[in-house]
Amino acid sequence: MLRPRDLVVVGASAGGVEALSAFAGGLPGDLPASVLVVLHLPPGAVSALPAILARSGPLPVREAEDGEPMERSCIYTAPPDRHLLVEDGVMRLSRGPTENGHRPAIDALFRSAARAFGSAVTGVVLSGSLDDGVNGLELIKTRGGRAVVQDPGEAVFPSMPENALARVEADFVLPAKEMGGVLADYVREHVDPAEADPMPIIDEVELHVARSGDGAEAGIPEVVDVSEPSGLACPDCDGVLFSLDDRGNRYRCRVGHAWTAQALFERQTLDIEHALWAALRALEEQRDLAARMARDATDRGFPLVADRYQRHREESAHAVSVLRRFLYSGVGVAGAGVQDTSA
């Protein structure tokens, strides 16, 4: 049965408020489609995004509510600390595991939209760091949907658009404010969602995990049943990460935390640097304690004990000097990490 492409899903991260404001400003006021938006937000935040986007363009903007039907000519935003998903024509909010450290996650929305709407969905990737949303956009294209990506040259943070373009054949690459006209044309296209290719089992499993605790259907395999251990550990829970593709780009742990290779590498970099700073602090404390113990041994007339603690002090002081130079050099762990050069 033919239907219009009347669902638009949008993902943004760093620099996303500016991009989303331009995007909303370019949408026609009579756009016959529902627009669902995920912007990465800290868990405890109170989102001002609906108010910002309502001032930026002609469409009404509301924060999504669980079980709410989607209306056309309306923008819905994901609330903080909830995945925004699409299921049976309504929006669902979930506290499923984080993806790349984020909840809401762009991939979770895109994945659910691709499953529920097939070829009748258009995915939009805007400014952001790393590569959240890339796998979901790839799935949207695989199932016959459209892909629109912000011009990286316009994005405040171009990494997310660049990664999307490296993996997905986008239908259009445009400045955010020029996307409205393209989307208005897409909505006039009629497609048969039933003709979409079946969802890969891995994506079904990931969608099931994102919906965990919210009445997700039984019978879906667990991550451990459809993937192999990667030999890597999850930064969130220290559990084994399982590789979800043969390219080593996607990982999930047993309890559901999801990581792309880029996000995992950056998180490992931060964790290593944190550990090195903790080691520096411990070495400085050991140096100072050894000096006190050497003085105390000298005062009590134990020169051999004093000499031993003095050697400990000198060894710790040398280690402090080496580690401090490494951390301050800018070419060590932090310099080797995945950095957004536009920052």
Verify whether residue 190 is a known catalytic residue.
Answer: no
Contact yes or no for 233/223 (Cβ under 8 A): no
Active-site entry in 6, 13, 56, 316: 13
- Long-range Cβ pairs for the range 284-289 (8 Å, 24+): 284/316, 284/320, 286/312, 286/316, 287/313, 287/316, 287/317, 287/320
The catalytically annotated residue of 6, 21, 34, 40 is 40
Among the listed residues 132, 208, 257, 316, the single catalytic one is 132
What does the angle CA 178 – CA 14 – CA 149 come to, to the nearest 5 degrees? 35
Please list the alpha-helical segments (H only) found in the chain.
16-25, 49-56, 106-117, 134-142, 159-167, 179-187, 201-210, 223-226, 261-299, 303-329, 333-336
- Helix (H, G, I), strand (E, B), or coil: what is residue 120? helix
Helix (H) or strand (E) holding 178: none
Question: What gap in Å lies between CA 83 and CA 77, rounded to an integer?
Answer: 10
- Three-state DSSP at 169 gives coil
Residue 132 falls in the annotated catalytic set = yes
Question: What is d(CA 296, CA 281) in angstroms, rounded to the nearest whole number?
Answer: 23
Any idea how long the chain is? 343
CB 5 within 8 A of CB 191: yes
Active site residue 257: no
Residue 228: Cβ within 10 Å count:
10
- Single-letter amino acid code for the residue at 188: R
Q: Both tokens of residue 57?
A: 């363009």
Please identify every residue annotated as catalytic: 13, 40, 132
